[in-house]
Amino acid sequence: MLDVTPLTEGWTLRHEGAALPAAVPGCVHTDLLAAGVIPDPFLGRNETEVAWVGRRDWTYGIDVPASSGHERTDLVFDGLDTAAEIRLGGPDNQLLGSVRNMHRSYRFDVTGLQGPLSVRFTSAYAAAEAVRDRLGERPNAYPEPFQYLRKMACSFGWDWGPTLVTAGIWRPVRLEHWSTARIAHVRPLVTVEHGLGRVELAVEVERTRVEAGLTVEARVGGVRASAAVDGTSGVVRLEVPDVELWWPRGYGAQPLYEIELTLSDAHGPLDVWRRRIGFRTVELDTSADDHGTGFTFVVNGERLFARGVNWIPDDVFPSRITRERYRERLARAAGAGVDLVRIWGGGIYESEDFYDACDELGLMVWQDFPFACAAYPEEQPLRGEVEAEARENVVRLMPHPSLVLWNGNNENLWGFRDWGWERRLAGDSWGEGYYLGLLPRVVAELDPTRPYTAGSPWSGSWDHHPNDPAHGTHHSWEVWNRDDYAGYRLQVPRFVAEFGWQAPPAYATLRRALPGETLAPDSPGMLHHQKADDGNGKLERGLARHFPVPQGGFSAGDFDRWHYLTQVNQARAVAAGIEHWRSHWPVCAGTIVWQLNDCWPVTSWAAIDGDGRTKPLYHELRRLYADRLLTLQPRGGGLVLAAVNQAAGAWTPSLVLRRMSVDGAVVAEASVGLSAAARTVAEVRVERELEPVGPKEFLVADADGLRALHFPVPDREVPYPKPEFEVTVAPGSVTVTAHTLVRDLLLQADRLDPGAETDTGLVTLLPGEQVTMGVRGWETPDAATARSALYCVEPTR
């Protein structure tokens, strides 16, 4: 049988004659940080102090033991970041190969070789700039050369990420010892028809001896089948009766089937391949209709409104992300009602741990190929690398039932049309051949059971603008960049693949990341941890449309208020979009919020900050993405109450509408009948006498524990009463009882203790109402301290 020797211990990192202990998997930055050579780049403005690291060459070394008694020994790297030269052996220091792609693995025959192994990394800047000098300039959205190298683009910085250009052995490395033959690749095609699950396993083997007779045997769900290997390939087909279907969360269970394939010769087993698979069908309905061109996921015949989040690498140093961290982040996504995670194209193909968690949690995965916001040359050496990485990763990820879509790129087709690229390129290659040629060909050949789309956004063809909201996927960024979030209600895109609103991270995260700094929106550390173009200006203009802004803007003395209000505005903005778009199902068939997570502590669009703390947006997503949602929508000069029912059963709620004044009086009240069938939206127009008039009134809709609110004017015009409420505490909870209207009450649990968290986000209480908020990680509760961590919208001063 194949034997494996992990190479994890004994590595050193060398630069300019100095040697440091190195961790593998890891990267140069984490090794230098562990050795105390550089400061933590996430703290203060240290990012700029370590910029030199990405401009240097680095060498990793280890002594490789002698080969075993097998016929062949391979040195296998699951990931090298990025441009490197690998040598092994004594005085000759034999060159094994040169590599230049972070997104693929490498295998070298080292039979009979032993001694010092060196992996010399060239600066990613130098490698990228050399390609740029040879192929010519190509435009991109950021002043860094990331499109000339097959590397995680956001290593070079983004509008939410630091510029920390990594190098290193970022995934495991090992020696594999084998004889006669080994399994090189297994490509499982999984289909379902009338309860019968079919699995076709296309197997590729590598051999040391041609004359050996080989067989492959597979088993899944109690079914076994075998086939002979013809040369270097074989195909095993199995039929599994009465299979249980894998469903996205909220639609059914996620049964997973263990599948095992064994390669043998006449003397016994030689190698084994094991994975888990799930039986399900997935289609993408992009047919034309009266509204344009659709974009609807259909799983097991069920049409879905996708409740999604965009995912970026969870750490700018991906080797630090553990299986447990993936699971925790993704479990939080599922806990917020999310059923789809889009892996964004400026990052990576994630590890098996990510997709395993999605399989188990019922989270559909939309996988971008790693291209983002740039014109990518199509000449060599890039073209061959792109095809190699695509072929490897399509086959690697095929077993996962959670994977439902391959997407060619992020925003590059849009960029070509709208960002001035076409004129600047003057006929040079820019990536279109990848997205409309190479990548769909690779997917069709290797993974025909899954849909492919050329990009996000993409209207389906050049007949329409790439970001046309009526056709295919749409990215809605004009609202954040220029408008009030009420602008989301002006369009009903077919599928909103990106939209979002910024807010700072949790207070405790800022205190850790900016030690000793007097916090202000424009303090040095805050500005350094705000990477978006005019980000603070957009935050303040967004606030000014709704809340009173101090003359001259917020200062250090107003920081706590600014921090709270920006987080409120983020949650409200995302709510405005999702409530509007969900109410237009099935015309709009999904929303993917930008973004779930962060890779460091930063002001960004994330719902979970770089330290893993949730923002109010996270808790708001739990309401917005629940199976059932009530929303009041301005339409046609009046108000419409929409009952969104994504549950499997009909919903006939007992609705109560109350027109109220801000002092707590009920001006008018009515019970309304409404019934929403399963997976539908039901609407009822609000009668005129129930519509609030002027700044002193608002409308409340209640049904089955759900609530919708409508205030007809911005908060700055509402004469809110001074909020009055009582606070009581008990182990694990804080209870607030309102005596007046209390708008958007928020408990910032991390202000009680950096390790504390609450299970409740923004809550609006009417006079006499009460809410109990669970709190974990606060060891010494008292009411006065709890009150100090409670914030709400206050009257205009």
Residue 250 tokens, joined: 């909220």
Instruction: Decide: helix, strand or coil at residue 659.
Output: strand
Rounded CA gap, 42 and 348, in Å?
21
- Which residues sit opposite 706 in a β-bridge? 703
Q: What angle do CA 353, 356, 362 make, to 5 degrees?
A: 135
Rounded CA gap, 617 and 762, in Å?
9
Rounded CA gap, 587 and 479, in Å?
21
Residue 440 tokens, joined: 């769909």
Q: Are strands 106-109 and 115-121 parallel, antiparallel or unpaired?
A: unpaired
Question: Three-state secondary structure along 320-368?
Answer: HCCHHHHHHHHHHHHHCCCCEEEECCCCCCCCHHHHHHHHHHCCEEEEE
Q: Which of 378, 411, 498, 757 is catalytic?
A: 411
Backbone phi, psi, residue 250, to 5°: 90, -10
Query: Around Cβ 774, how many Cβ atoms within 10 Å?
Result: 13
**For residue 504, with 0-12 CB atoms within 10 Å meaning exposed, 13-18 middle and 19 or more buried, which class applies?**
buried
Work out the angle between the directed axes of helices 382-397 and 439-446 (0-180°, nearest 10).
30
- Which residues sit opposite 178 in a β-bridge? 72
Residue 210 tokens, joined: 């041609």
The sign of the dihedral angle between the CA atoms of 385, 391, 392, 394 is positive
Does 350 participate in catalysis according to the annotation? no
- Which residues sit opposite 568 in a β-bridge? none
Residue 146 is classified by DSSP as G
Q: How many residues does the chain have?
A: 797
Residue 368 tokens, joined: 């971008």
Contact 102, 156 (CB under 8 A): no
Contact 744, 568 (CB under 8 A): yes
Rounded CA gap, 620 and 623, in Å?
5
Residue 128 tokens, joined: 């990228």
- Which residues sit opposite 546 in a β-bridge? none
Residue 333 tokens, joined: 């996504």
Contact 610, 616 (CB under 8 A): no
Rounded CA gap, 596 and 618, in Å?
8
Work out the angle between the directed axes of helices 323-335 and 352-361 (0-180°, nearest 10).
30
In terms of DSSP H, where are the helices of 419-523? 421-425, 432-433, 439-446, 478-482, 507-513
The sign of the dihedral angle between the CA atoms of 137, 140, 142, 148 is negative
Backbone phi, psi, residue 651, to 5°: -125, 115
Query: Around Cβ 427, how many Cβ atoms within 10 Å?
Result: 6
Residue 500 tokens, joined: 């979002």
First to last CA, the chain: 77
Q: Are strands 196-207 and 181-193 parallel, antiparallel or unpaired?
A: antiparallel
**For residue 712, with 0-12 CB atoms within 10 Å meaning exposed, 13-18 middle and 19 or more buried, which class applies?**
middle
**Which DSSP helix (H) or strand (E) runs through 387?**
helix 382-397
Instruction: Decide: helix, strand or coil at residue 289.
Output: strand
Instruction: Decide: helix, strand or coil at residue 459.
Output: coil
Backbone phi, psi, residue 26, to 5°: 175, -165
The residues annotated with a catalytic role in the active site are 411
